[in-house]
Amino acid sequence: MNNSLLIVLIASGVAYGTPLLYAALGELLAERSGVLNLGVEGMMLVGAVMGFWTVQHVHANAGIALAAAVVVAGLVGAALSAIHAFLVITLRASQIVSGLALTIFAGAVGLSSYLGNDLNLSGAPATHTFSAVFPASMQRWPVIGPIVFGQNVLVYISWGCVVGIWLYLSRTRPGLNVRAVGESPAAADTMGINVTRYRYVHTLVGGAFAGVAGATITLAITPQWVDGITGGAGWIAIALVIFAFWRPELCLVGAYFFGALQALAPQLQARHISLGPTVLWTNALPYVMTIVVLVIVSSGTARSRLGAPAALGNPYAREER
Amino acid sequence: MKRSRSVLVLLVTAGALALVFTSVTFGGTSKKAASPYKVALILVGPHNDGGWSQAHYAGMQYVQKMLGSKVQFTMKENIAPGAQFNQTVASLSSQGYKMIFGTSYGMITKAVAAKYPNILFEQATGTDLSKNLAEYFGRAEDTVFLSGMAAGAASKTGKIGYVVAFPIPEVIRHANAFALGAQLTHPGATVSLVWTNSWFDPTKEKKAAQSLVGAGADVLGQNVDSPAAGQYAESAKVPWVGYDSDSSKFAPKSWLTAATYNWGPYMLKRVKAAMAGTWKSGFYYGSLNDGFTGIAKYGPGVSAATKAKIATYMKKIENGSFYEFTGPLYDQTGKLRVKAGVKMQVLTGGANSLYGMNWLVKGVIGSAKG
Amino acid sequence: MRITFERRLRQPRWLSVAVPVGSVVFAFFLAGLVLLATGHNPLSTYRQLFDAAFLQTGSLTQTLISATPLAFTGLAAAAAFRMKLFNIGAEGQLYMGAIFGAAAGLYLGGTGSSSPFVIAAMVVTGCVGGTLWALIPGVLKAFFKTNEILTSLLLNYVAALVLTYLIFQSQSYWRETKGFNASVFPVGKQLPPSAVWPSWTIHIQGGVTVPLGAVLAVLAAVVLWVLYARTRFGFEARVLGDSERAARYAGVRVRRKILAVMALSGAIAGLGGASQVGDFAHSIDGDPNGLQKLGYGYTGIVIAALARYNPFAVVVVAFLIGGLENAGNTLQGVDFPAGLVGVIQGIILFSALGGEVLIRHRVRIVRTKKRAAAAGAEPAS
């Protein structure tokens, strides 16, 4: 039963959706404060390469090396997002162009490739990887075995993050403040909330999450380094945030849904379920579905009830209030 | 205000001029090395992919070592066939390169070779020939067959998974050879295929490996260029046969063996001929006998009996008394495709040639169309 | 003491040029620091870049080959971004233009029509292909208010899948099915000779080949400039970009404008795709590691931003960035840092973005004395 297509897809969805989840959570935080950061793909890649580098060079036991790698990946992601934050918050540049610049700068033909090459990171497996935490016997339990107990610690931490962010946004004072900043920075400013600081912090934390998302790929999923190993996951994460109506719990559902979709084609092939001429559709399905959901989400009523932070994408200038 | 503005303009212009000036004059002159023979190697993937491109790169390093300062090698990686390749050739030509090795199908076309009549082109895995264009490849199907033997022997259930790239004759004949080898050591073994539509994509290959094991395969093999399937095999404790080169460090316990390419000796021969002026175009199809193909060192999971059996068959292939693509060969539907005793040829025979093979042998599960 | 920004009332012309130029200089300086920090010699690296891009024999031809698609995608981005319509889909629109253009070339070229006719047909169908693909996000934005950034972006992935499917996963019209080679590896059909676009040679630097696409790109720039600077269409588009509310009051039909501008943007990108097939590749390149890895659409956005959406500037910047890309390809190897091209482009863009502040705002250093009003402070020089 654990081997049925559905269970396998859900379990794969969780595993492959985790980098999407981390990246989406980070982007969610930034966007809630009103900052759109399109540079997720770039930040993920640099987090991936530097996390990988750390685990290859920290000569300690697996636990410490991996923890250090995750921390480094997060710091690197935050550092990159700082560039974007400075440009769009302090200098009030276009958020879209800046995010794209970040992707080009750090992406598959940019900094991540530069570092991977200069630091000689290809051609060797990761010294340590994140593997399943629970014993094999528990992984064999029906249904929840592979789905819940067959995952690595980064997956479990991501669940903690979803809960934490949900609590933060809905139950804490700073969380409510950031929502105000994202909806109407002018009003928030009058209330004494430091708009600039909130935006900076949330953008940087968003970058850190993106870095960790990248490290998930090079430390857990495919523990090696090649240029562009994220394969566009950053863009899907950006779409995911909208797909999830800017809510962390829906990010989780969406991320796992996408992860499962991506695992679908090989699963069907291995089980000799012929795709035939539909191979194009199966591959295109995740993207088409996202577009459909985007249309639904953006239409009139949905938007007013569940929509984006109203000030998303606009720089805040106190002088022009 | 106006004064400070013009100062700013002056500073910017001065800065720009300074940059151009210094880099043009003080950046050093480009190397004017006339004596070493300039050869270029163009790879389709990264030079340390642990697979196909890495094997070619190793060949280049071998030639460099053997010829020392007489030859100047350069390597371009991640160059796709098509516009990018043509641009690379154009710039290599203007830099004085005299010989170019293209390592992926479709890189060097007759048109490209005709455009640069003074450069000697060597294309791996292709078929076009012209005055300055030669082709080279080899009987990897022999060594893939032998590696399939190791897979069959390591399998308990007889269900083997094989990760493949594109549904083209090269890959199809390798999949067939693998299956035939597995069926030799494990009669009745089946080989399930999952296509990734990419020569090198670790994530897709891992997903393919995962899906194959999930569907019941207890041994994995591949005809793709990254060791991702092997990493998964290691974590799933499933034996693994690699491809292109020795990637045992990615899966020390699961590693069985792999069909490997040894491009160096052929490249050396051709570079020497080019330098001596005796180079002629031709179609080279290497084999075990001239060291072009080989078997990687065995992992812990290969039994002594299997090693002996593989060694026996290797000798038989080398002295010509055995050829895995000798009839009777049946396709997936059970139809007899190659009559008993008939040996499949490399180029002649249409769909019954190695280069035209578009059907899968009995025991291979999956579509030959992708 | 605080630094504040005051919006300028007028944007001085000279700054519009000085800032991008200054950003490029600054970017090279910064990238030079990165090179130094990682053990490469910046001066010799830059010297190699200039050589490979512009000075070596044959380099200008190669630079034009890199620059032509970039000019198209840059113009496509400029056309849309000028109106704050963020069409990120030039990449996919280029692919679609290539597919449509190739179909026209293969079909009409095969029927023995005259070459100018076939090529004209390819130009038109290329534009149509790009337009149709761009109208999807256009319609979704105009009628359903769906964010065009994400829809156009996601469609890029779909277009890439279609491109690969046509050659690698099906026996489509575009795929070569005859001949021995075709069975060995999937390739696209070659264009018949009448469908190959012409080029002209200028006799400098040993002969520079100017493809038809480059000429068309310049023409497109002229058309775009006239459209935006001298016609009512352009005026309305610019008003709409500055303020949707003002545009509505002025009677601009917003929906129609969105559709029209997306169609225009897509057409230019699609023409770029047709040029790829007609000028350079002469067949459809469905290899996921081929055309799809080159990222012409995304680089075009960088170019448009750097050129501040002025069509003529786009052409110039496309030429320069084309040189950079060409040099990156040429120099790529064991001793040249991979990814440097992206790093430099990224820093240039960051600098340009940062510099943009100087164009739109005046920097003021305000000395806040304990109770003095800020208004009495000295302006920055």
Tens of pLDDT along B173-230?
999 999 999 999 999 999 999 988 888 888 889 999 999 998 899 999 999 988 899 9
Per-residue confidence at C173, pLDDT binned at 50, 70, 90?
A: confident
If you average pLDDT over every residue of chain C, what do you get? 84
Residue whose token pair is 């620059």: C67
Helix (H) or strand (E) holding B313: helix B304-318
Q: Residues near B157 by Cβ (< 8 Å), separated by ≥ 6? A: B216, B218
Longest CA span, chain C: 88
| Nearest alpha carbon to residue B174 among B65, B259, B113 | B259
The per-residue pLDDT for C137 is 95
Tell me: pLDDT of C54 over 60. yes
DSSP string, A31-77: HHTT---TTHHHHHHHHHHHHHHHHHH--S-HHHHHHHHHHHHHHHH
Per-residue confidence at A178, pLDDT binned at 50, 70, 90?
A: very high
- Looking at chain B, which residue has its C-alpha nearest residue A127? B250
C-alpha span between C167 and C18 (Å, rounded): 47
C-alpha span between A166 and A157 (Å, rounded): 14
If you ran DSSP here, which 8-state letter would residue B320 be given?
Answer: T
Mean pLDDT, residues A40-61 taken together: 93
The per-residue pLDDT for B16 is 59
A122, A125, A271: residue with CB nearest B215: A271
C-alpha span between C363 and C360 (Å, rounded): 10
> What stretches of C276-360 show up as alpha helix (H) in DSSP?
296-306, 311-331, 340-360
Tens of pLDDT along B93-141?
878 899 999 998 878 888 889 989 999 999 998 888 899 999 999 889 9
The per-residue pLDDT for B141 is 92
Q: What's the burial of C110, exposed, middle or buried (CB within 10 Å: 0-12/13-18/19+)?
A: middle
Instruction: Render the burial of C268-288: b for 16+ CB within 10 Å, e for the rest.
Output: bbbbbbbbbbbbbbbbbbbbb
Which range has the top average pLDDT, A115-119, B268-272, B350-354, C267-271?
C267-271
| Nearest alpha carbon to residue C280 among C194, C220, C218, C212 | C212
Residue whose token pair is 């899966």: B251
Q: Which two tokens stand for residue C126?
A: 């290329």
Q: Tell me the CATH architecture of domain C62-310.
A: Orthogonal Bundle (1.10)
Least confident piece of the model among A81-90, C239-248, C255-264: C239-248
Between C93 and A107, the more confident residue is: C93
> What end-to-end distance do the CA atoms of chain A give, in Å?
61
B76, B80, B91: residue with CB nearest C287: B80
Between C37 and A179, the more confident residue is: A179
C-alpha span between C99 and C84 (Å, rounded): 28
C-alpha span between A141 and A148 (Å, rounded): 10
Q: Residues near C371 by Cβ (< 8 Å), separated by ≥ 6? A: none
Give the other-Cβ count within 10 Å of A31's Cβ. Answer: 23
**Beta strands in chain B, from DSSP E residues, in sequence order:** 37-42, 71-76, 99-102, 120-124, 133-138, 159-164, 190-195, 219-222, 240-244, 255-261, 283-286, 293-295, 329-330, 336-338, 364-365
**Cβ–Cβ under 8 Å, residues B125 and B139:** no
If you ran DSSP here, which 8-state letter would residue C23 be given?
Answer: H
**Gyration radius of chain A over CA positions:** 20
Q: Which two tokens stand for residue C304?
A: 């448009």
The per-residue pLDDT for C368 is 65
Tell me: pLDDT of C19 over 90. no
Helix, strand, coil % (nearest 5) of chain C?
Answer: 70, 5, 25
**Gyration radius of chain C over CA positions:** 23
Q: Please state the length of chain A.
A: 321
Mean pLDDT, residues A213-231 taken together: 89
Measure Cα distances from B22 to A55, A152, B15, B355, C216 in Å: 41, 53, 11, 55, 36
Interface contact C347, partner A, CB < 8 A: yes
A96, A287, A298: residue with CB nearest C157: A287
- Looking at chain A, which residue has its C-alpha nearest residue C334? A117
The per-residue pLDDT for C335 is 66
For chain A, the domains span 5-320
Instruction: Tell which B residues from 195 to 224 touch C, by Cβ distance under 8 Å.
Output: 197-199
C-alpha span between C15 and C7 (Å, rounded): 14
The per-residue pLDDT for A224 is 87
Tell me: pLDDT of C135 over 90. yes
If you average pLDDT over every residue of chain A, what do you get? 87
**Cβ–Cβ under 8 Å, residues B215 and B192:** yes
Query: What share of chain C has pLDDT > 70, as a percent?
Result: 91
Tell me: pLDDT of A125 over 80. yes
Enumerate neighbours of A (3 or more CB pairs within 8 A): B, C
Per-residue confidence at C247, pLDDT binned at 50, 70, 90?
A: confident
For chain C, the domains span 62-310
Per-residue confidence at C10, pLDDT binned at 50, 70, 90?
A: confident
A97: which chain C residues are within 8 Å (Cβ-Cβ)? 301, 305, 349, 353
Residue whose token pair is 């390591």: B154
The model carries a pTM of 0.84
The per-residue pLDDT for A160 is 96
C-alpha span between C344 and C367 (Å, rounded): 37
**Beta strands in B50-150, from DSSP E residues, in sequence order:** 71-76, 99-102, 120-124, 133-138
C183: which chain B residues are within 8 Å (Cβ-Cβ)? 168-169, 356, 358
Q: Which two tokens stand for residue A125?
A: 């497996």
Tens of pLDDT along A87-105?
999 888 888 888 988 988 9
C-alpha span between C283 and C181 (Å, rounded): 15
A107, A277, A280: residue with CB nearest C161: A280
The per-residue pLDDT for B122 is 94
The per-residue pLDDT for C372 is 44
Instruction: Tell which B residues from 103 to 142 touch C, by Cβ distance under 8 Å.
Output: 105-106, 126-128
Q: Which of the four CATH numbers 3.40.1000, 3.90.930, 1.10.10, 1.10.3470 does domain A5-320 have?
A: 1.10.3470
Q: Residues near B17 by Cβ (< 8 Å), separated by ≥ 6? A: none
C-alpha span between B355 and C170 (Å, rounded): 20
Mean pLDDT, residues B8-21 taken together: 58
C-alpha span between B57 and B68 (Å, rounded): 16
Tell me: pLDDT of C22 over 70. yes
The per-residue pLDDT for C347 is 86
Q: Please state the length of chain C.
A: 381
Strand partners, C200: C210
Looking from the CA of C104 toward its CB, the CA atoms found within 13 Å total 29
**How close, in Å, is residue A149 to chain C by CA atoms?**
33
**How close, in Å, is residue A104 to chain B by CA atoms?**
18
Q: Residues near A82 by Cβ (< 8 Å), separated by ≥ 6? A: A203, A204, A207
The per-residue pLDDT for A290 is 79
Mean pLDDT, residues B25-39 taken together: 60
C-alpha span between C240 and C85 (Å, rounded): 10
Measure Cα distances from A311 to A29, A165, A185, A198, A199 in Å: 14, 20, 7, 14, 12
C-alpha span between A229 and B193 (Å, rounded): 24
Enumerate neighbours of B (3 or more CB pairs within 8 A): A, C
The per-residue pLDDT for A278 is 64
> What end-to-end distance do the CA atoms of chain B give, in Å?
70
B26, B82, B91: residue with CB nearest C62: B91
Per-residue confidence at B27, pLDDT binned at 50, 70, 90?
A: very low
Between B32 and A13, the more confident residue is: A13
Between C160 and B86, the more confident residue is: C160
The per-residue pLDDT for C271 is 96
**Cβ–Cβ under 8 Å, residues C301 and A100:** yes
Q: B210 vs A227: CB contact, 8 Å cut-off?
A: no
If you average pLDDT over every residue of chain B, what do you get? 86
**Cβ–Cβ under 8 Å, residues B309 and B145:** no
The per-residue pLDDT for C298 is 84
Q: B27 vs C164: CB contact, 8 Å cut-off?
A: no
Q: Residues near B304 by Cβ (< 8 Å), separated by ≥ 6? A: none
Q: B204 vs A266: CB contact, 8 Å cut-off?
A: yes
Domains, chain B, with CATH or none: 37-139+263-286 (3.40.50.2300), 140-260+297-365 (3.40.50.2300)
C339, C353, C354: residue with CB nearest A113: C339
DSSP string, C64-118: HHHHHHHHHHHHHHHHHHTTT----THHHHHHHHHHHHHHHHHHHHHTT--HHHH
The per-residue pLDDT for C332 is 72
Instruction: Render the burial of B90-103: b for 16+ CB within 10 Å, e for the rest.
Output: bbbbbbebbbbbbb
C154: which chain A residues are within 8 Å (Cβ-Cβ)? 235, 239, 287-288, 290-291
Between C370 and B193, the more confident residue is: B193
B161: which chain A residues are within 8 Å (Cβ-Cβ)? 270
Tens of pLDDT along B305-361?
999 999 999 999 999 999 999 989 999 999 999 999 999 988 888 788 888 888 999
Per-residue confidence at A153, pLDDT binned at 50, 70, 90?
A: very high
Mean pLDDT, residues A168-194 taken together: 91
The per-residue pLDDT for C153 is 84
The per-residue pLDDT for B26 is 46
Per-residue confidence at B300, pLDDT binned at 50, 70, 90?
A: very high
Query: What share of chain B has pLDDT > 90, as a percent?
Result: 53
C-alpha span between C235 and C267 (Å, rounded): 20
Tell me: pLDDT of C322 over 50. yes
Tell me: pLDDT of A134 over 80. yes
C186, C276, C333: residue with CB nearest B75: C333
Q: B80 vs C293: CB contact, 8 Å cut-off?
A: yes
Strand partners, C2: C366
Mean pLDDT, residues C88-102 taken together: 94
Angle at A34 between CA A30 and CA A40, to 5 degrees: 35
Q: What are phi and psi of B167, to 5 degrees?
A: -75, 70
C-alpha span between A53 and A47 (Å, rounded): 10
Between C370 and A230, the more confident residue is: A230
Mean pLDDT, residues C77-98 taken together: 93
The per-residue pLDDT for B151 is 95
A91: which chain C residues are within 8 Å (Cβ-Cβ)? 353-354, 356-357
The per-residue pLDDT for C28 is 85
Q: B192 vs A270: CB contact, 8 Å cut-off?
A: yes
